[in-house]
Amino acid sequence: MITFFAALVILIVGYMIYGKIVEKIFAPNDHATPAVANPDGVDYVPISTGKAFLIQLLNIAGLGPIFGAISGAMWGPSVYLWIVCGTLLAGAVHDFMSGMLSERNDGASISEVTGKYLGPVMHNVMRVFSVVLLVMVGVVFMVGPAGLLARLTPEWLDIRVWTVIILIYYFLATLLPIDKIIGRVYPLFGILLILMAIGIAIGTIIHSGERPMMELTLKNLFPGTVDSVTGKVTGVRPIWPLMFITVACGAISGFHATQSPIVSRCIKSEREGRKIFYGAMVAEGIIALIWAAAAVAFFWNKDGAGTGLSALKAIGGGNSNSVYDMCVALLGKFGGPIALLGVIVCPITSGDTAFRGARMTIFDWFKLDEKKIRVRLSVAVPLLLIGYGISFINYNVVWRYFSWSNQTLAMIVLWAASVYLATNYGPNPNRCWLTVVPATFMSAVSITYLLYAPECFNLGAHGTTGLTVSYVGGVVVACVFLAIFLLTTYRNPAKSLERQQNVDISRKAAH
């Protein structure tokens, strides 16, 4: 329990201290935001800071800090370190930079932002990549809650029926102006999400006598399979890179970069950025920490023999079954349904904005007019139909591809942010380290997973040799990316400083 509370305190203090450092490096100014300068009544609509924070939290939260954190618990308490460090040093920085860069580019979608700083080839790659990822996210956040609702309702309301019902809601939320549904109900749902996490935390603490919360250990506790003849343990999955990919949204998520433009088109001042973008990610990190700690305590100690994580592995890690079992056991007859309602609302309110984000990306891509409902329909309907078709694919397969593409997108966004800092503030390492360090780290994570995982190059099938090759390959490619950045960005310091002077002049003129 000491580890849990220490991690919680670090997240809160980290927001107050490191969040201010991030804000100071970015240097917000008082120029008119897109919502103030160009309101359109559909996507560009000024909203209050409190509403913007809750909308951003629900946009990015989804099932990630719940399903991902529970799945990450299969490796044991070492997941706490990644949630805390990943949130403060990578995830929140990523969310802040993606939101603020979108705001400074007239609320542009993340594919347009990265294209501006990484070049035309990456521009087109990111357009396709973003739309594919957003559709997969919409599917993940459609099937997950549909499964939970099917468990709570009569048999005729099965997962297919609930999927269609949720899809109809997605259609409305994707199509209508942001202040008609999202701006009105999201603040209430945001409060529900926070209360649900608090309830799980209290329930875990109350039951700590029978299910004690484990203290930190770096030992890999992923449950393997013991051969009855030889006694050899097989099937233990390595912490690096699998846990870092599995936790996903609970530490860092490229999906967030696709959601931040939705809110960047609504904020009234750049100075709200730290509270909204950095703050929402820290709040999500706290939610992930709570669910990870609860899952470790609930499953590890369940049978009293230290093999409880095998039960979590057997039911597939974080999913509707594990969440249902935890909520009912920890919060009882009345608390369980309330917590489950939060878990259901949470992904649905990210799935709708995922499809909305995909629609916005396509609109930015082809320069379409979002004010015309006929045009919005022509994009929204095909996207939702494609999403429904993908929902028939095995959920765990979709989640694995989502997790890897999610972290890869985060890597790309962090490199784009690094180029922005170097280009607009000159070759100053004191500024660029903010994003270069997590960008390099996430490059190693993504490439290592790409080499190791069965859905990619599957080097993990070759045992220790394959794992070693994956490790070396990930580190080498990350170092190559870093070298390319240093060589291309720092080649002409005078040009970078000249660009910054021009930017400053333009901002003063606009202000």
pLDDT in tens, 91-125: 999 999 999 999 999 999 999 999 999 999 989 98
CB atoms inside a 10 Å sphere around CB 501: 10
* pLDDT at position 510: 45
Q: What's the pLDDT at 506? A: 44
Residue positions counted in the chain: 511
In a domain, 420, yes or no: no
Do the beta carbons of residue 413 and residue 258 sit within 8 Å?
no
Burial degree of 502 (CB within 10 A; 0-12, 13-18, 19+): exposed
Mean pLDDT, consecutive 10-residue stretches, the chain (511 aa), reads: 95 97 92 91 90 89 83 93 97 97 94 91 88 82 80 86 89 79 77 85 90 88 73 81 90 92 94 96 96 91 57 81 85 76 75 85 88 85 86 68 83 94 72 93 96 89 92 97 88 50 44 43
Residue entry with tokens 């013991």? 226
Identify whether 324 is part of a domain. Answer: yes
Give CA–CA dist 122/144, Å, rounded.
32
Give the pLDDT of residue 184. 78
What pLDDT score does 446 carry? 95
In 3D, which of 105, 110, 111, 113 has the Cα closest to residue 37? Answer: 105
Please, are residues 199 and 335 in contact by the beta-carbon 8 Å criterion? yes
Residue pair 279/154 in contact by the 8 Å Cβ criterion: no
Domain count, the chain: 1
pTM of the entire predicted model:
0.89
> What pLDDT shows up at residue 427?
57
Residue 494 lies in a domain: no
> What pLDDT shows up at residue 511?
43
115 C-beta neighbours (distance < 10 Å), count? 22
Q: Which stretches within 207-254 are classed as H helix?
A: 239-247
pLDDT in tens, 331-379: 887 777 777 777 777 778 778 888 888 888 999 999 888 778 888 889 8
pLDDT of residue 140: 73
Residue range 140-180, pLDDT digits in tens: 778 778 887 887 788 899 988 998 999 898 888 877 777 77
Residue 290 inside a domain? The answer is yes
Question: What are the tokens at 311?
Answer: 């039960």
Looking at residue 329, its pLDDT comes to 87
Q: Is residue 471 part of a domain?
A: no
Reading the block at residue 362, the tokens are 């396509």
Q: State which H helix or E strand residue 265 sits in.
A: none
Residue 325 belongs to a domain with what CATH number? 1.20.1740.10
Tokens describing residue 270: 């750049």
Phi and psi of 49, rounded to 5°? -60, -45
pLDDT at 302: 52
Give the helix ranges, DSSP H, for 67-180. Answer: 69-72, 78-86, 92-104, 110-118, 120-152, 159-175
Instruction: Tell which residue, 497, 507, 505, 508, has the closest CA to residue 423.
Output: 497
Parent domain of 6: 2-407
Give the pLDDT confidence score for residue 346 in this predicted structure.
73
Crossing angle between the packed helical segments 429-452 and 2-26, to the nearest 10 degrees:
130
Position 136 scores a pLDDT of 80
